[in-house]
Structure 1
Amino acid sequence: MTDEERVEVYHALLERSNNGKLLKNSTREVSGLLDVPLQRVQNIWKRAKNTGYGEVVDVSHRRKGKCGRKKKQIDWLKVVDIPLHRRTTIRSLAAALGMSPTVVFRSLKKGQLRRHSNAIKPLIKEDNKKTRVKFCLSMLNKNALPHQPKFVDMYNVVHIDEKWFYMTKKTQTYYLLPSEEDPLRTCQSKSYISKVMFLAAMARPRYDGEGNETFSGKIGIFPFVTLQKAQRRSCNREGGTMELKPMVSIKREDIKRFLIEKVLPRIYERWPAEDFGKTIFIQQDNAKTHVTVNDEEFQVAALQQGLDIQLMCQPPNSPDLNILDLGYFRAIQALQHHVCPRTVEDLVTAVEEAYDEYPPNLVNRVFLTLQSCMIEIMKIGGGNNYKIPHLKKDTLEREGLLPVQMDCDPNLVEEAMNYVAC
C-alpha cells in the first residue's frame, strides 16, 4: 500500500470511532469498502492508537530505506588523486575509479561532481603581471577621494580589435523531431571554411539623467573585403561580375588605412558634440599589425578631423582588458549564427546587422564587467586565474541602481601600488 492509501484507511476508521474507540465491525467494514486486508486495517489503527500524546499521527509504512538493495557508499575524495587528463569524460573517470559510467553520471546529476569547461589562457610572466596591475591602476580616477578610490567612467575610450567571422561552424547542434531526417551540411574542406575579418570599434554608451540613450557607443564594424571581377562564368554569376572577396592577409598598412579612412570619420560623425576638444583614446592590443602609438600619419589625420585622438595599447597577453574580447565579440557572433549566410555578402550583412541589433545597455554592462575584472586582477597580483564576478547587473539596472563606476578598496589599491613599486 502507498502512504496515501494508508492515510485513507486511517481517516475511514477515524470516522467510525467515538473518543478513540472503534464501533463494532468497523475494521471489517473498512476492509471491505477499500478492498484492503483486514489485518492491514487493524495494524494501521493499532499504530495510530500507539501514538504518544501531542505527537502527530503517522501511519505511513516503515519499509522506506529498510528494504531493497542498499546504496553503495563511494568516497568521491578519491577523484582528487586522479590526474586531470583522465577526468575529461564520464567514461574515462569511471574507468579510473573502477566503477560504472552510470554511477558517475548519476553522481553528476546529484551535484556530487561538477562539469567544468576549461579554456587555455595566455602565459603571463612576472613583468607582464606588473604591467597589468599598472594598467588597472592607471584606470583609477585621480580626482576621487583617497579613501574612496573608483575607476574612471571610460566614456572617452574607444576599444578596437579584429576578429574572424566564419560562414558556419564545423559542428552545429540542432533540435529535431524524432521523425525528421538529420540535416546534411557539406563543404569542400573543413579546414578552409569561408571567413571574413572585421575591425570593430566600440565606445561606452551614454544616457541622460532620465535614463534615455544619447549615444549608443557603436562606432562601427568594418569588413576587410575587396571588390573583384569574376574571372570566368559560373552557374552563380556571369564572367566579369563584381563580387566581394575577403582579404586573407591583413597587414599594418591595412589597419592604418581602416583607422584613418573609416574609424576616424565615424568617430567625428557620431561622437557627442559636448566632448569635442577633449582627448579620446583608442585602445588596441599589441598585435604586430597594429599601428604604433606615435604614428605620425595617424596623428596628422586625427588633427585634420579636428579631434584630439591618441592611440594606447593594453598590456600584452590581456584580452580580458578589452570589452570586445571580454564579451562583445561572442555576443554578436551568437547573433550572427542565427542567420545562415551562403555568400560573403550575406556574411558581411549578417555580422553588420548583429552589430547594430546588439542592445547598448548590454554594452554598458560589459564596461562594468571590465572594471570588476580589473579589481580581480589587482587582487591576485596581475594574474588571469580568476573568475569573472557576478554583479547582478540585470537586477541593479531594473532597480535603477546600476553604478557608472566601480568602487575599489583603498587597501587593495595600496597593495597594488606596493607590488608595482617593488
Structure 2
Amino acid sequence: MSPLANAIVRLRLLWERPSLRRMAQNIGWLLADRLLRLIGGLLVGFWVARYLGPVAFGSYNYALALVLIVGAIATLGLDNIVVRDLVRAPKAAAAIMGSAALLRFGGGLMAIAVAVGAVALLRPGDSTLIALTALMGMASPLQALSTIDLWFQSRVESRDIVVARNAAFLIATLAKVALIIAGAPLIAFGWTFAAEAALGGLAVMIAYGRQNQAIGAWRPSIVRARALLADSWPLIFSGLLVTLYLRIDQVMIGQMVGDAELGVYSVAVRIAEIFPLLPGAIIASAFPAVVAARAVSEELFYDRLRRLYALVAALGYVAALSITLCAPWLIDTLAGPGYAAATPMLVVLIWASLFSGIGLARSTYLNTANLAHLHTITVALGCLVNIGLNWLLIPRVGGMGAAIASLIAYWLAGHGACYVVPELRATGAMITRALLWPKFW
C-alpha cells in the first residue's frame, strides 16, 4: 500500500471514532467563529485605523490595552478550571456555573474601577481617554455571562454558541461601519465595544436556553466558590501577568513615545494576533480529551500532549513564514501607506506568536496535572523580562523595540523557562522536539 493510501486509511479509521469526530466537528465550528471574526475584524478594524489615523487609533488602543489588562481580574482564571470541573462532575453544573458567574461579575466591577483609576493617573486631564476607558470597561462585568460558553466547551458542542456570539459581532461590526460613514468621533467607538459585550451576553443566554438550560437554575455556593478560587488563584495572578505582558508594551509605547507610534505598532499587533486564534480553537476543543486521557493512562495522556504541541508548532511555522513574506503587502493593503513603518514590527511579532501558541498549549498540561502555580512562575519571568526590555528598547527604537522584547519574552515564558523549572523539563523536551520536528500525526 502506498504512503498516501495508508494515510487515507488511517484518517478514515480515526474519523470513525465518535470522540475524535465530535472533536473535529467542534474545531470546525470554532474555526468558523475565528474566521468570521478574523475577516470582519480585519476589514472593519483596518478601516477604523484608516479613518481615525495613527494618533486617534493609538489612543483607542491605549484605552483598550488598559481595559484588557485589568479585565484579567474579571475572568479570575476560571476558564479551564470550570471546564475541568464540568467534565468531572456534570451533576454539579448548577453550583459550578452559578458560583463562577457570580465571582466573575464581582471581578468585572473591580476591573472597571481599576481601569478608570489607572488612566486618570497616567493621563490626568485627558477627559476623552478617561471616558473611552470607562465605556470599554463596561464589558468586564458582562464576562459573567461568558460562563455559559464554558458549559458548551465542556460538552464539546460549540455550534450554538458560535452562532450566538457571531450574531452580536456582526451587529457591532455594522455599527462601526455606520460610525465611519457618519464621521463619528473617537468616543463613539467605545460604545460599540460595550454594546458587543452586552449583545453577546444576551445571545449566549438564548443559545443556553435552547439547550433546555436556564440561568435561573444556577445555585451559587460559597463552598463551591471557595473551591474554584482555591484552584484558580494561581491562574488569576498568571492571567493578569499574561495580559500584562501581552498588552503592557502598548501602554508603555503610548506613555514613552506617543499615541502616533502606538497607532502604527497596534496595526502590526492586530495582524500578528490572528495566528493564536487557530491554535486557540484547537486547544479549547482538545482540552476535555486531554483531561479524559489522563484518567485512562499516562501513556495516552502524554501522546495527546505530544500531538498537540507538534500541531501548534506546525501551524505556527506556516503562519510565520507566510506573513513574513507578505508583510509589506499586508500593511499597505489593509492599513495604507501611513502605517508602512509597521512592516518590520509585524515580521518580528508573527514569530513571537509561534511561542505564544506553544505557551497556550503547555497550559493544557499544567491545568490537567494541577501544576497551575508553575504557569504563574514562567509567566512572571516572561513578564518581567518583557517590561525590562521595553523600558530599555522603546525609547531607542520605538515600536520595533517592543516587538523584539515580545519575541524574547514569549519564547522565555512558553519554552525557555521549562529548562529553569525542574518539574517542566520533561514537557520542555516535548516542546523542543515539536519545534524541531512538528510531526503531529
Flag the structure with more relative contact order, 1 or 2, with Cα contacts below 8 A and sequence separation at least 6. 2
Per the TM superposition, whether the score is higher than 0.5 is no
TM (norm. structure 2) is: 0.30
Which of the two has greater helix per residue? 2
Higher Rg of the two aligned structures: 1
Which of the two has greater strand per residue? 1
TM (norm. structure 1) is: 0.31
